[in-house]
Amino acid sequence: MPSATTDGPRYVDGALIPDIQKYGDNPVTIRVTEEELHTGKTRPETVQECLRYFHRDGFVVLENAIDEGLVDRLYNRMVQDNSEFLRRKHMHWNQGASTGNVSQIPPLTPEWLDRDFYANPHMIRVAENILGPKPELRFINSNVACPGGTSRQAVHSDVSHAFPEIPFGLVMNIYLQDSDAQNGVTEVWCGTHNAYPQSEQQVSPGKGWIKKEYLQERAKVKPPVQPKVKKGSICIRDLRLWHAGMPNTSDHHRIRLAVDYFAQWYQCPMTTKLPLSMKKTIEREWEGVSTVGVEWVEGDLNSLDVQFYLNMTQDPSQYLLQTEKGFQDSVGRQTGKYVYDTAKVTEQNYWTPE
Ligand SMILES: O=C(O)CCC(=O)C(=O)O
Ligand SMILES: [Fe+2]
């Protein structure tokens, strides 16, 4: 039985009905209030709704979580960085040059390390409720979809090892501009984070691309979407979720930070670099975050010189490293052949309406 009052909380059958702003269903976007944005205090109702949709979909969008001025400042700097980064020998187009998609590390000098991006209080509140106490920061990067990209990525999961059947890691994709299909917002497949066992769904081990028959079947349950995402939104994504980078047909760069957090119990061996000069400040001010996965670097840290390094498995020997010869994975280390991420995307790798 509903018990309603005009201005107090509302309960139905003993449950509190969260009084929050949300819209959409595939995916759900939850809008942080101006008061939450300015105080940095997330209301329990906001957390409850984020958890509800995160567990259902493996994906939820937290809107209005970061001050727009900060977002514009970082966007402009990263666009500037992009032309320099594209000249680096170790840069790599994700899934082929025609995607126009590169992993570009954001500036890591002290004046650019705003808590609002990397340890955003709302984001951490949700993360600690999914992953447990003091989630571990272990990856700071971004995906830049450069203007002029013509092709899409294969639908994939970023993790391709024998991963746990429960949430163990999150990627926080922070959009630095309004995004939609036109500028290549990421295609997402809500609910695929726990729909099928890892050993069945992926084309080959160590790669993460999803089998065509799984794509065709899953689209009947819930089709993939390119949602509209507002500037300053944080998309909280379970690392297991299927998704794909899409071409940016606009005239402006589409930049989306990728900040990864892992559960302590998972013992992820990956580390991410930050300047030693910021250690004290970060440990004091980035509340709720564990920095055991941070490698503190002495002196100047030019993020454009840092090679892409990834290991979301639990095995320290399974890392992936970007080199001038291409991606070196554990197979490359054994054979000397650098074939990781050289396969061509075909119609077999994305959903085609039947
Ligand atoms: O940039 C994007 O929208 C997605 C890129 C991506 O998923 C990847 O490179 O793994
Ligand atoms: Fe990805």
pLDDT value, residue 1: 59
Model confidence pLDDT, tens digit, residues 39-76: 999 999 999 999 999 999 999 999 999 999 999 999 99
Ligand 1 centre to CA of 277 (Å) is 31
In the chain, where are the structural domains located? 20-307
CA of 95, nearest ligand number: 1
Whether 133 has a pLDDT exceeding 70, the answer reads yes
**What's the whole-number average pLDDT of the chain?**
95
**Residue ranges around ligand 1 (CB below 6 Å):** 94, 101, 143, 145, 153, 158, 186, 243, 245, 256
pLDDT value, residue 188: 98
Whether 315 has a pLDDT exceeding 90, the answer reads yes
Whether 183 has a pLDDT exceeding 80, the answer reads yes
**Mutation test of ligand 1: which of 243, 246, 250, 340 has the most ligand atoms closer than 8 Å to its C-beta?**
243
pLDDT value, residue 287: 98
Does 20-307 carry CATH code 1.10.3720.10?
no
Ligand 1, atom nearest to 243 Cα: 7
Tell me which long-range contacts 93-99 makes (C-beta under 8 A, separation of at least 24): 94/143, 94/153, 94/245, 94/341, 95/153, 95/154, 95/245, 95/341, 95/345, 96/151, 96/344, 96/345, 98/149, 98/150, 98/151, 98/247, 99/145, 99/149, 99/151, 99/152, 99/153, 99/245, 99/247
Average pLDDT over residues 215-232: 98
Does 150 or 331 have the greater pLDDT score? 150
Model confidence pLDDT, tens digit, residues 89-117: 889 999 999 999 999 999 999 999 999 99
Confidence label for 327 from pLDDT (cuts 50, 70 and 90): confident
Instruction: Supply the residue whose CA is at minimum distance from atom 5 of ligand 1.
Output: 245
Model confidence pLDDT, tens digit, residues 232-280: 999 999 999 999 999 999 999 999 999 999 999 999 999 999 999 999 9
pLDDT value, residue 247: 98
Instruction: Supply the residue whose CA is at minimum distance from atom 6 of ligand 1.
Output: 245
Average pLDDT over residues 33-42: 97
pLDDT value, residue 3: 62
